[in-house]
Amino acid sequence: MFLAFILTFFSSFLYQFETLPAMTPIDITIDVNDKKYAAPSKKDDVSLIIEVEGNPERHKKYIEIYYPSVEVVAVYDTLFYGLALKGHPDRMGQIVNLEFVKGIHPVQMYMTLTTQSYSLFNQPSDFIKENIFIPYKLNNTEYTGKGIKIGVVDTGIDFNHPDLRMNYRGGFDLVDLDDEPMETTEDEGMPTSHGTHVAGIAAANGNVKGVAPDASIYAYRALGPGGFGTSIQVIAAMEAAVKDGMDVINLSLGNTINGPDYPTSKAVNEAVNQGVAVVVANGNAGPTDWTVGAPATASGALSVGAYQPTGLVPYLVDPASKKEIKLSPLTFSKPWTLTRDYELSLAPRNKDTRGKIRLIRQQDSPVVEEVIRAQENGAAAAIIYDIKPKDQEWIVGLKEASPSIPIAIISTKDGRWIEKQLNKEAIYFKNIQKKTESTIANFSSRGPVTVNWMLKPDVIAPGVNILSTVPGGYDILNGTSMAAPHVAGAIAVIKEAQPSWSNEQIIGALKTTARKIKDEKNNVVDPIIQGAGLIDINEAINTDVIITNPSLSFGKYGYHIDERKLNLEIENRSDKEQQFTFDIPKKEKGLSWKLPQNFTIKAGEKKEVPIELKINSLQLKNGTHQGFLQMNQGTKKYSLPYLFISETADNPKIMGFVFQLNEMNKDTYAYQMYVSEPVRSVQIKLYDPNSLMFEGTLIKWTDLQVGMNEGEIRRRDIKQRGNFYGLIVVQLENGEIVNYETIIRLE
């Protein structure tokens, strides 16, 4: 059947719901049942977007002449070249074989990653009061974003919602290919609500108010049932938004590719070049480094991490030792609002855990099975510890299993301490909720970006327990998906307040005035986690100084002695000459800064200020080097985040691996992978998934390039058939071997 396919659901995962902890960079392939999706025009019609070579208008005329039964719904020529088509599968099948067709992107083709969300509305009132964040609280100004257009590229919008219909002005549906971008309803497939929630954060105007309650909302539905779509649908939606004259585009979506040249990242940069401010969610794959995914990796994107405002955080307390153990609940499980004492249990999976909290060690346990078995055996909750950072596929499986008990993660140190105590005697732990200071959400993805080694995120905004609109009502969600529209709304507010400012000035002002966040130990959070810091709209509007590029990414060094130079562009917006100084950084062996100690900028003028860095690689530690330089202007202080990376950094080398049967040509398998740095070779070794016996080498590549690599392998050249555990063996240029895991299905 035309729409039958193998779904690769990490590299094609273009939509991030609530908290999604760190995953391995290798993707899993799963089967999806054949399914037809009816287009609005004719019962059996299908919709798809084709990417073309050459002039799309010329190809449109060709199709209209020789395939009159196929409707050309839209032409794309701004961010990519392509056509949106509707027609009978038989006729569409003929078109996709035409010479000028470069790529085929069927509409509504991906199944959702099931998410179970528990509303906080059913929780105790004090818990709700302490934890809910209302988006409009971020707007500490008199401005409301009036006259500014915000384009929301997402799952659509419930444009009939009473809090949104006043501001909703239109848009386009890239899934059904019509001008009604409504969220997916139950009778159309797996329903969605994400786009409505995102739109409400940016610009709701009713019982709930967004950051910019008078801004105009335009919806571009790029993600269909369950919140899935293709990169081309996302790019096409962005193109429609650019053509409709959006001032700001919000992309609360992403994938796991930590590279700057993924197609959606390129489209973001092109939209920015055409004068649109593009805000992108940084991703929900923290707290591991190198987890920011495309298109937040785009150099032109204003990438946003998630800030956690002051609230209640659950702790376990041992009555005897008074030891307190912080819990990090998984947001797709039931909220951790336990109030009484519970016994912790190390019991094997078949033992009764009724009324107890089950302690599970991830390193040596099938976590999903353990949690479900504990739930079936009456456990009150589950705690997971000793997590292996590069083995995170269990989180996806656990999310799909939709557990109905609270689940939390604790540190390896705390888990081993509990295990040691339980080996001596039974212990009942108290459950308490402690009011904590604001911090970075644990799930927020971290930088840097591979290939261009940029510092991301750019800023942070509230992304935990955010109250906003959903179809038919309201809900509270978590994620950088929620943080991004706070910033989109902030840009709308600043555009109203400072209509003469360019996007570059607005974004520079947000970064210049952002507030650095500290952790629980009062240490400043690393730049690759918070970027420039938490945005402050009022400070940005009223700043006298704008640093256009305050985030200093010096790149990757590899020579014995390496020197780098960046120029800061500083604008003095006041009516007086301003004097600036730099604090001398703390001395570090192998590192030498050359900073201007004292300089002035005249009223209303801009000045380029050189920042020079000299590195002796033999004296510096390997890995990621980061921190903040401090610039002073009178009593005001400006913190400039900086980053540089050694040749031996632990960044992922291979990402977004896909190997699947080519649905347009059943005689071949298509593959793709993103390579972040030069490699000698990559080979796929196959093992029996049950016995782990070696079954042979599928293929070996020795000519891969940095960036996305795609190609095909003839089916008859592959001897093996069935499901296999795949080991991806990467040999780096220095001879080092790195391994990744995946699942391979050969038909």
pLDDT tens, residue by residue, 253-312: 887 777 777 778 888 999 999 999 999 999 888 788 888 988 899 999 999 999 988 777
Residue 338: closest CA among 372, 383, 369: 383
Cα–Cα distance measured from residue 30 to residue 140, given in angstroms and rounded to the nearest whole number: 47
Encode pLDDT of 119-154 as tens digits.
444 444 555 556 688 999 999 999 999 999 999 999
3-class secondary-structure state, position 356: strand
In this prediction, residues 608-618 reach a mean pLDDT of: 90
- Cβ neighbours of residue 714 under 8 Å, at least 6 residues apart? 667, 668, 669
Handedness of CA 739, 740, 743, 747 (dihedral sign): negative
Residues of the chain with CATH 2.60.40.2470: 654-746
Helix (H) or strand (E) holding 567: strand 561-572
The reported pLDDT for the residue numbered 24 is 27
pLDDT band at residue 480 under the 50/70/90 scheme: very high
The CA-based dihedral angle spanning residues 351, 354, 358, 364, taken in that order and rounded to the nearest 10 degrees: 20
Residue limits of CATH 2.60.40.10 in the chain: 544-646
Contacts of 724 (CB under 8 A, 6+ apart): 686, 687, 688, 689, 695, 743, 744, 745, 746
Residue 710 has pLDDT above 90, yes or no: no
The three-state secondary structure class of 394 is helix
Nearest Cα neighbor of 674 from 392, 301, 290 is 290
Write out the two tokens for 40: 């609005």
Torsion on CA atoms 138, 143, 149, 154, rounded to nearest 10: 10
Question: Do you find a cis peptide bond into 457, omega within 30 degrees of 0?
Answer: yes
Other Cβ atoms closer than 10 A to 123: 15
pLDDT of residue 633: 92
Which H or E run includes 528?
Answer: helix 527-530
595: region left, alpha or beta (phi > 0 left; psi from -120 to 50 alpha): beta
Given phi > 0 = left and psi -120 to 50 = alpha, else beta, which region is 700?
beta
| CA nearest to 108, candidates 124, 84, 91, 130 | 84
How much is the pLDDT for 391?
54
**Inter-residue contact 547 to 637 (CB < 8 Å):** no
Contact predicate 155/468, CB 8 Å: no
Cα gap 450→454, rounded to integer Å: 7
Structure token digits, residue 511: 């970064």
Query: Quick check: 331 pLDDT over 70?
Result: no
The fold of 654-746 is Immunoglobulin-like (2.60.40)
Angstrom CA distances, 76 to 49, 51, 54, 553, stand at 10, 9, 12, 34
Q: Which of 277, 217, 281, 226 is nearest to 249 (CA)?
A: 277
Which residue, chain included where needed, has tokens 């929900």?
284
> How far is CA 731 from each of CA 289, 565, 679, 695, rounded to the nearest angstrom?
22, 33, 6, 21
SS3 content of the chain, % helix, strand, coil (to 5): 20, 35, 45
CB atoms within 10 A of CB 89: 15
Owner of token pair 């990438």: 303
The DSSP-derived string for 600-657 is EE-TT-EEEEEEEEEEETTTSPSSEEEEEEEEEETTEEEEEEEEEEETT----SEEEE
Q: CATH fold of 544-646, please?
A: Immunoglobulin-like (2.60.40)
Residue 321: count of CB within 10 angstroms of its CB: 10
pLDDT of 118 higher than 50:
no
Alpha-helical regions (H) of 244-293: 263-273
Q: First-to-last CA distance in the chain?
A: 16
pLDDT band at 13 (very low <50, low <70, confident <90, very high): very low
183 neighbors 114 (Cβ within 8 angstroms): no
Q: How high is the pLDDT of residue 42?
A: 46
- Give the amino acid at 622: N
CA torsion 35-40-44-45 (nearest 10°) is -90
Across all residues in the chain, what is the average pLDDT? 83
Question: pTM here?
Answer: 0.76
Q: What is the pLDDT of residue 20?
A: 29
Confidence of residue 490 (pLDDT cuts 50, 70, 90): very high
d(CA 710, CA 673): 7
Residue 681, beta-bridge partner list = 731
d(CA 306, CA 479): 7
Q: Spell out the residues 6+ positions from residue 486 whose beta carbon is closer than 8 angstroms to its own.
A: 135, 138, 201, 202, 211, 304, 461, 462, 463, 535
Residue 354 has pLDDT above 50, yes or no: yes
Per-residue pLDDT tens for 539-595? 999 999 999 989 999 988 877 788 889 999 999 999 999 999 999 888 888 889 999
Domain with CATH 3.40.50.200 in the chain: 135-309+440-527
The tokens of 8 are what? 């690769």
Mean pLDDT of 104-118: 41
Residue 713 reports pLDDT greater than 60: yes
What b/e string do you get for 159-192 counting C-beta neighbours within 10 Å, with b at 16 or more?
bebebbeebbeebbbbbbbbeebbbbeeebbebb
* CATH assignment, 6-106: 3.30.70.80
Give the C-alpha separation, 449 to 447, whole Å.
6
Between CA 46 and CA 50 the distance in angstroms is 13
Q: Are 745 and 6 in contact (CB under 8 A)?
A: yes
Instruction: Supply 461's token pair.
Output: 């905004």
Distances (CA, A) of 211 to 137, 202, 483, 486, 537: 7, 5, 11, 6, 10
Of 330 and 671, the structure prediction assigns the larger pLDDT to 671
pLDDT in tens, 186-241: 888 889 999 999 999 999 999 999 999 999 999 999 998 888 887 788 989 999 99
Q: Where in the chain do CATH 3.50.30.30 domains reside?
A: 311-436
For 241, other C-beta atoms within 10 Å of its C-beta total: 30
SS3 of 674-710: the string is EECCCEEEEEEEEECCCCCCEEEEEEEECCCCCEEEE
pLDDT of 26? 26
Second CATH level (architecture) for the domain 311-436: 3-Layer(bba) Sandwich (3.50)
Pick the CATH number of 135-309+440-527 from 3.40.50.11890, 3.40.720.10, 3.40.50.200, 1.20.1070.10: 3.40.50.200
571 Rama class: left (phi>0) / alpha (psi -120 to 50) / beta: beta
